[in-house]
Structure 1
């Protein structure tokens, strides 16, 4: 599939700094870069990340993305030419309890990192964002042009960061930024080199895998009375490896055309219900998942699905969109994580 946006060749990618590269998505993006022969430097404070997830082929630096002196030194010493920024807090519930923490780390540190990158002559900056910037939505597939109307501090912290980056691009025509808005990231590296390792998991598939591996007794379905095909909530799940591939395409687009700002939805444009996800996990595992019906959670929309233009804009060709493949990779990783003793963080 041909891309609409211009892209530099993969072989011309410069050394890349990956902040938050000891986390779930960041480590998979680092793997994607290394697999393409790109020099990759991971910067992570290890507050929520795990050293065990940093790819063996990456240069690792422990520290914060907002430490301007450290970031400047890393960019200079390692010849960095682009930034993938994943370092962030991601729990909606925690953001409600500690909003200042989220504004400081998700907004403040992003702004600091972008300022340092710009001062050092970096031309391409990709920040992981979220579908939480849309708020509840209207139950229809969400286009990138949908109103930005978060309903929690997590969503606002990302929306503020997006706005600041867009304004920086407008003021600096040699600086390009992309903000991919994730829907529900799932799966694991197909070669089992990385996956989720959350201390307090809140993602559906990870929680269900904990049940299948004996770490939890049962799975609670929050809400069985939604106006959906089976009464449970519907979400757009995207495989983490496909997500990582999209980030590399976005880097290539930023490097090919300076002075551009791109907000892009990253999802498949199709939804799976909670029940369908659990059924898929039972099919690949051959084991029943004990289920319990619970009440709806406040703020949970019935349907959250992307209208994603990434295929058209970037020539993005997902390889792992099949639901059973996604959940199978997630379960295989959880079993491997337990066998290797990779600690939850």
Structure 2
């Protein structure tokens, strides 16, 4: 089965009519009898943030490994920055940066030494490497920690250093594999701002995450991966429109008012203890008015709460899983992310 993710370039794209950063067709990857990717096709416009959502074991990390040439696909093809994964892996690697789930920082070196090591790996001249390293230390607010080993850094500081190391090669495309896992809310917000700055400079970001809010905040396009297949794709707004769960909750002053309204609003669910009525509604602009028009005149409504679907609703509706069932499934089958 081939799952296709495509569409027009988002408004934030600075590439105009330039070729996409990634075009993948029918990518599959198996580990023995375990299928980690099952016919994934996707297109990532340049200068955008593409978020890949999915529970543990869905194939997110495997897809990043394939697209970044760390693993060969079992079937299918892909071009990254215009280069074929199979025939030009060196050219692909020259244009990308990868920050994995686990830090690549060497705790025995200082922050500056970690960056200078990356400069050597990228074959930068000594002066150029040191200048770029110090510029990145300043950009990532690590100037005062340059001479300290990362073992003395906070989690957020280590993650910023990890991404700074990725940027030493000045990549056009950055893979960020669950970059904010384990970070506190303030560090997560800092990381989001860094991603926004990348895109403003024309860099393409391929982001995997389990944080639905993160994808909602950052992504131009989102694909939901489950059991190795893309089960949904689109902008955050488009995905929310197709998720169930939109409803309006009305709170009444009296029990009599509650039950009178319940008789008048089809499909509504009363909560006698809270004097509230949950009313399903369609995901469009006139939905709230249509619900209220069904409430008999003269019934005092004390409060109105509107719930529109969010990416949590999308995630659980389309992946057909809950955190508990996914944890149990991963424990049984192994986690091929």
TM more than 0.5: no
> Larger strand proportion, structure 1 or 2?
2
Of the two, which has the highest radius of gyration?
A: 2
